[in-house]
Amino acid sequence: MIQSILAEIENDIRKYSPYPEKVRLVVVSKYVDSKIMIDAFNSGVKIFGENKAQILKNKKESFDLKDIKNVSWHFIGNLQSNKVKYIIDYVDLIHSVNKLSLAEEINRQAGIKGRTINILLEVNISGEESKEGYILENLKNDIEDLQKLKNINIIGLMTMAPLTDNENIIRDTFRNLKNLQDTLNKDMFNKQLKELSMGMTNDYKIALEEGATLIRIGSKIFK
Ligand SMILES: *Cc1c(COP(=O)(O)O)cnc(C)c1O
């Protein structure tokens, strides 16, 4: 069952992405427990995405999953600075860095552990008040300070599309993130921003067409 859905998504990556070889699937496992995750792992999942720090830690340390090495853990949810300590040992990419104080705490904790942590900057492209993520103006103000943090490595951008059935609005959101990536790569990041994390169950095909390199899919696989 999981296997056939994963195969379908792999097909969609080849069908919709302009560069399928660059695209990775983040399997959003927040809906299921570690037992089901082991099934998913055995079906070929390479990246799990969780949105709660304590739960990522519990799952990673669980009997089912603690000995599994060749799987990556991504953090995709809203992260409070005081929870960074739960995931710092385990996380391979944090998708959702949306303020300088959070980046500074990740940098500090990473320093203690002697690690460099890969992160994405989450951007509120649509400007909706309810959305997490950097407003463009704040992002531009913070970039210089973010770039000074030695133990984090900014490798791309992430966004969530607005909740709407209007495909044009969703597509515009993703296209604007891609354009922002191009602009920042040219002006300030010297092509260092390689990843674009965008697209979930309901909109991942559009995200692939618009250049996503990380798609985050949960419901389609587990519900
Ligand atoms: C839950 C979640 C997803 C997965 O959404 P689905 O619609 O279930 O595929 C992706 N990204 C984030 C940040 C999430 O919290």
pLDDT digits (tens, 9 = 90+) for 22-55: 999 999 999 999 999 999 999 999 999 999 999 9
Q: What is the rounded distance in angstroms from the CA atom of residue 197 to the CA atom of residue 117?
A: 16
Q: Is the CB of 200 under 6 A from ligand 1?
A: yes
Closest C-alpha to 197, from 78, 99, 76: 76
Q: What is the rounded distance in angstroms from the CA atom of residue 31 to the CA atom of residue 180?
A: 31
Instruction: Tell me, in angstroms, the distance from the centre of ligand 1 to residue 186's CA.
Output: 30
The pLDDT of residue 127: 80
- The pLDDT of 64-77, averaged and rounded, is 95
The atom number, within ligand 1, closest to the CA of 221 reads: 9
- The pLDDT of 77-101, averaged and rounded, is 98
Instruction: Tell me, in angstroms, the distance from the centre of ligand 1 to residue 114's CA.
Output: 30
The 3-state DSSP class for residue 56 equals: helix
The pLDDT of residue 126: 80
The 3-state DSSP class for residue 4 equals: helix
Q: Is the CB of 201 under 6 A from ligand 1?
A: yes
The pLDDT of residue 145: 98
Q: Is the CB of 205 under 6 A from ligand 1?
A: no
Task: Classify residue 80 as exposed, middle or buried by CB count within 10 Å of its CB (0-12, 13-18, 19+).
Answer: exposed
91-139 per-position pLDDT tens digit: 999 999 999 999 999 999 999 999 999 999 999 998 877 778 999 999 9
Q: Which domains does the chain have, with CATH numbers?
A: 2-217 (3.20.20.10)
Instruction: Tell me, in angstroms, the distance from the centre of ligand 1 to residue 200's CA.
Output: 6
Q: Which of 24, 51, 124, 159 to mutate to test the pocket of ligand 1 (most atoms within 8 A of CB)?
A: 51
The atom number, within ligand 1, closest to the CA of 28 reads: 4
Which protein residue has the closest C-alpha to ligand 1 atom 11? 216
- State yes or no: pLDDT of 196 exceeds 90: yes
Closest C-alpha to 202, from 163, 173, 169, 175: 163
138-180 per-position pLDDT tens digit: 999 999 999 999 999 999 999 999 989 999 999 999 999 999 9
Q: What is the rounded distance in angstroms from the CA atom of residue 155 to the CA atom of residue 193?
A: 5
Structure tokens belonging to residue 23: 């695209």
Q: Is the CB of 74 under 6 A from ligand 1?
A: no
